[in-house]
Amino acid sequence: MQDDALNRPGVCCVIGAGDATGSAVARRFAREGHTVCVARRNAAALQPLVDGIAAQGGQARAYALDARREEQVSAFFDQVESEVGPIEVVVFNVGGNVRFPILETTAQKYFKV
């Protein structure tokens, strides 16, 4: 008899789970049975997504994460693997949706994006 845990999808992390693409990706992986760990700078903004996934029978957890900070990203992966389980999928969907000509890029704009 096979272990059922071996047949279930694992953990999917969506970094940059905003209101459009990131949320849609998270919902899709949750529908496929993954436990979805969603992250963005403002974890409170993820609550409607987490609640919606749970209402559909999925599992999701929200995390505050500034993906521009290497130490935060490393800590996020460590926390997820420690508390939730091995990570099977990572979707890096980070972007600031700021449009500007490349010649007008400043350090502040670069950091924001």
How far apart (Å, rounded) are the C-alpha atoms in residues 55 and 83? 22
Give pTM, 2 decimals: 0.81
Write down the pLDDT at residue 2.
44
Q: Which domains does the chain have, with CATH numbers?
A: 4-112 (3.40.50.720)
- Per-position pLDDT tens, the chain of length 113: 345 555 668 999 999 999 999 999 999 999 999 999 999 999 999 999 999 999 999 999 999 999 989 999 999 999 999 999 999 999 999 876 667 777 877 787 766 66
Write down the pLDDT at residue 1.
35
Among the listed residues 65, 56, 53, 57, the one whose alpha carbon sits nearest the alpha carbon of residue 23: 53
